[in-house]
């Protein structure tokens, strides 16, 4: 059955942490059909044709925000208003059907998608840093969802790069309304002062992992928090990037 023919279980009550682990194990071990088209895919999340059809980003991207820019130069927006992060690396464009995979991971508890997306991220340029931090999830959303999708992505990435994955030094202290429900211009205000850092990052280079970058407001606010605590460089490493002007 494809993801378009099923309802996401999060709409009922949230799974317990044990239920999430069981779901993860079943997703990983059982033979399955392609999540997108329903064709037999063996042990793979997607069949090969659907995997090949995932939307790729343009070749020329701003190295700071990963928006299209001729010659891969720093774009005008980043020159006029430099963000607090220093670089962004993304694997797919946040469009059909990659957006459906992200939604299935976050809201459908299809945790087997996390290592699949991480493997795809590792096929692109691999950033270097001193440590990796997954984007923190707000307390109520973490209780509701039962897992942090950014952490599920970060685990295999940190292992592959041999980097420490720090889960304790940063947290999201405010449960703000979902950014996806707000106009792009309202997102920066919505996320302001949402994060806190509990450690000295003096001189450290940090990779921040997340599933999707849309306006960049959340990642910018988080990078600002890390910079205030001494981080020398912050690189966003995301599975998908929404491009301006697209729905």
State pLDDT tens for residues 196-229: 999 999 999 999 999 999 999 999 999 999 999 9
Q: What are phi and psi of 147, to 5 degrees?
A: -165, 160
pTM for this prediction: 0.82
Contacts with 176 (C-beta within 8 Å, 6 or more apart), sequence order: 138, 190, 191, 194
* Contact criterion met (CB below 8 Å) for 106 and 15: no
pLDDT of residue 5: 37
For the segment 160-185, the average pLDDT, to the nearest whole number, is 76
Strand order in the sheet with 233-241: 87-93, 233-241, 205-213, 131-134
Strand partners, 203: none
Q: What are phi and psi of 97, to 5 degrees?
A: -100, 10
Radius of gyration of the chain (CA): 18
pLDDT of residue 41: 86
pLDDT of residue 192: 76
pLDDT of residue 8: 32
pLDDT of residue 243: 94
**For residue 244, what pLDDT band results from cuts at 50, 70 and 90?**
confident
For the segment 2-15, the average pLDDT, to the nearest whole number, is 36
3-state helix, strand, coil in the chain (%, to 5): 40, 15, 45
Torsion 18-24-30-33 (CA) sign: positive
Q: Which CATH architecture has domain 57-241?
A: 3-Layer(aba) Sandwich (3.40)
* Contact criterion met (CB below 8 Å) for 150 and 135: yes
Tokens linked to 15:
């799974």
């Amino acid at each position: 059955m494809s993801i378009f023919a099923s309802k996401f279980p999060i709409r009922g009550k949230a799974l317990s942490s044990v239920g999430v682990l069981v779901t993860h194990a079943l997703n990983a071990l059982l033979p399955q059909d392609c999540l997108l088209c329903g064709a037999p895919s063996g042990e793979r999340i997607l069949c090969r044709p659907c995997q090949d059809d995932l939307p790729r980003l343009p070749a020329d991207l701003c190295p700071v925000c990963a928006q299209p820019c001729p010659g891969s130069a720093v774009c005008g927006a980043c020159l006029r208003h430099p963000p607090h992060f220093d670089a962004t690396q993304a694997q797919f464009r946040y469009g059909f059907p990659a957006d459906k995979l992200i939604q299935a991971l976050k809201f459908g508890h299809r945790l087997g998608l996390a290592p699949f997306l991480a493997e795809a991220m590792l096929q692109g340029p691999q950033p270097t840093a001193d440590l990796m931090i997954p984007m923190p999830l707000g307390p109520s959303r973490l209780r509701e969802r039962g897992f942090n999708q950014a952490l599920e992505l970060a685990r295999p990435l940190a292992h592959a790069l041999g980097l420490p994955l720090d889960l304790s030094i940063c947290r999201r202290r405010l449960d703000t309304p979902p950014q996806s429900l707000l106009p792009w211009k309202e997102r920066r205000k919505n996320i302001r002062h949402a994060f806190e850092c509990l450690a000295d990052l003096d001189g450290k280079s940090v990779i921040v992992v997340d599933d999707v970058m849309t306006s960049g407001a959340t990642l910018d606010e988080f990078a600002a928090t890390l910079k205030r605590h001494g981080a020398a460089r912050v690189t966003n490493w995301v599975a998908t990037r929404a491009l301006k002007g697209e729905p």
